[in-house]
A and B are shown apart, each in its own frame.
Chain A
């Protein structure tokens, strides 16, 4: 039986008259990496703070590692670690002092604590700056130290808020590797809130899309992108091609940022069996009839970022409430 570390059922949270979360259902199993994505104000941070027991739910049920975070925060924190954004650190302490002090709260022995701290420093590439005061750290180093404290000691559930923010590309890649290892080798469940869809696409087993405090989608990334395949046509006269396609009952799709000027996208007609329902021969015939030369043609599907952007444009998020 799969061990569920997070179980939220119809979880609600209200700030004043505004509902920040409305009947959110969420489960996270051991060894699973779940990404929370959504626009600003969609409720990601609120959900993370509810998981941490920093906020009290206004409805529904939430357990983390079998405990209610608001009522049993201490018990939750014995198995769960958090790294919130932006990084909050003790400026006057050195990186090592900060980690030792926070590791001590876990009840580990001095020797075990020392080993854990060294491991975390090495894992996040902080060993060389460990004895410098935190106030001398760059934003990226602060981010790494925040992540390092979240690994002390290794938890069953790791909750990360925008963990790659401020990191250079090499550090991002290393962090990705570290998170995969934590998940695959240590069986740690990870909840990751991020704006960076590219990161999420590379890492997440499951995606939870929040829109205005509601779960708009929950499932694998593949599932979100399924059925969104489309043709990308490179033609000599894009406008004429678009008109010909519309006349034939096809729907041109908006160009993507990565598209060239001579490219246009077209969705298959409903009931034609997806993009494969628009065979190449039919396309050439259609465009040729309109005097358009088809130079290239391939099937494509949106990247996660594009899919999320399309959703966000369709349902613009409300701004985060002032508290």
Chain B
């Protein structure tokens, strides 16, 4: 019952629409960004399909991957945090948690239903992002082999080449991998939302902390801290676009992220179970 109710509430809320529109807008911005970048670098002589780096380098798959890379860093964690924050703190602030708790529902069931629904939503959103990015890439540029080179984005340490069909398989693999990576900020936000009455505070705090941890994970000065930060592991899905996937490394990161997710969920549930709803 509670899962159905929560799903209905999510569908009827504006969150899915806002998230989808934001993703579309982001992809449109990326498209414009690539276009104007190619224009400015080649003084108007280049077609959009070919950037300054290599005439055979850029195609719809490259666009989709880069768009997803930026979306994963900038946008999807925010939606994961919003989803997590809206679950407990949002309901608490609106008095709905008290309403739900005055039905014969156990707190574990309620908490798990909310966590599962949020995770499902973030997974669907991630899949939608990838799908739309790929489709835009297909129709605006056209698909081709995926070539990656070392660069500032740290997509790869060495040049990589994936034939088109193999690259599409990797995109398919990237979906659950990236979704799993987003479970950590989602559960982190869910935990924060058990500590406050305001969804805005929960989401704001979770996003701010995520960004701080993300920056710390990227700065070499904090190298020793990295293994202890979930943000050090979230970009592991990029390894799935290597010619030869290091499955052992991917599994290590995935397990670390699952561990962090379990920890945040446990902390959140502990607080949720003990907290008074006065």
Contacts and interface: CB of A to CB of B under 8 A. Distances in A.
A in complex with B: yes
Interface of A: 15, 46, 49, 52-56, 73-75, 77-78, 80-82, 84, 86, 88-90, 92-93, 97, 101-102, 104-107, 149, 323
A54 B276 contact: yes
Contacts of B13: 92
B106 A49 contact: no
Contacts, number: 75
12 contacts: A15-B278, A55-B276, A55-B278, A74-B104, A77-B103, A84-B102, A88-B98, A92-B13, A104-B1, A105-B105, A106-B104, A149-B99
Contacts of B2: 105
A102 B5 CA distance: 8
Contacts of B12: 92-93
B98 A106 contact: no
B96 interface: yes
A19 to B, nearest CB: 14
Contact of A105 (B1, B95, B98, B107): B1
B102 A52 contact: yes
Contacts of B277: 49, 54-55
A323 B276 CA distance: 11
Contacts of B106: 74
Nearest to A78: B104
B18 interface: no
B276 A88 contact: no
Nearest to A323: B278
Given A54-B278, A93-B9, A101-B4, A88 B99 contact: yes
A74 B99 CA distance: 13
Contacts of B95: 84, 86, 88
A106 B102 CA distance: 11
A101 B277 CA distance: 22
A74 B98 contact: no
